[in-house]
Amino acid sequence: QEDNGLPVHLKGGPRDSALYHLTTLICCVGTCYSLWALAQAWRPKKN
């Protein structure tokens, strides 16, 4: 592999970049949802 300054997981081109960004998006959405669910669990239930 040539040394062009790209990380190894992005050397495959646009497809690798798209998969990387999709994975990052899914992780961020999952983290936000988890934090939201924890915040809901901390609140007392309404009667």
Residues 4-41: tens digit of each pLDDT: 888 888 888 899 999 999 999 999 999 999 999 999 99
**Domain of 32, in residue numbers:** 8-42
Residue 2 lies in a domain: no
What is the pLDDT at residue 1?
A: 64
Residue 26 lies in a domain: yes
Residue 3 reports pLDDT greater than 90 = no
Query: Alpha-carbon Rg of the chain, whole angstroms?
Result: 19
Which residues fall within 8 angstroms of residue 1, CB to CB, at 6 or more apart? 8, 11
Task: Name the residue with tokens 């790209």.
Answer: 6
What is the pLDDT at residue 28?
A: 99
Residue 28 lies in a domain: yes
Residue 7: φ, ψ to 5°: -65, 155
pTM beyond 0.85: the answer is no
CB 28 within 8 A of CB 21: no
Residue 1 lies in a domain: no
State whether residue 5 is helix, strand or coil. Answer: coil
Residue 32 lies in a domain: yes
Count: domains in the chain: 1
pLDDT band at 47 (very low <50, low <70, confident <90, very high): confident
DSSP state of 8: G
